[in-house]
Amino acid sequence: MLEISISDSAQEFIVNLESKFARQIVRKIKLLAEHPTPPQSKVLEGYTPLRRLRSGDYRIIYVVQGAVLKIPLIDKRGDDKVYRRLKQLLG
């Protein structure tokens, strides 16, 4: 199982969600720590090795570095805002 590292902004996003959706996202993150490349995850074009995984109406953006599952961003899916925020995070 991979160690999980969640950025401050991703943690804040989870904390501000309704508990039902927060639990759903946390469950997905735990599953990613066990199996980081499920078939429903996709590599982010232009941002390799970052991957994305849907969790209901949300996207979990993540990368595996060594034995660590890093989650820099979680946001609404179907909205270009998540990619704009990612661009800002990565510079």
Q: Which domains does the chain have, with CATH numbers?
A: 3-90 (3.30.2310.20)
Q: Point out which residues pair with 76 in neighbouring strands.
A: 58
* pLDDT digit string (tens) for the chain, length 91 residues: 999 999 999 999 999 999 999 999 999 999 999 999 999 999 988 888 999 999 999 999 999 999 999 999 998 876 677 778 888 877 6
The whole-number pLDDT of residue 79 equals: 64
Strand (E) or helix (H) holding 27: helix 19-34
Identify the burial level of 17 via C-beta atoms within 10 angstroms of its C-beta, where 0-12 means exposed, 13-18 middle and 19 or more buried: middle
* Whether 62 contacts 70, CB under 8 Å: yes
Nearest-5° Cα angle at 4, 26 to 60: 50
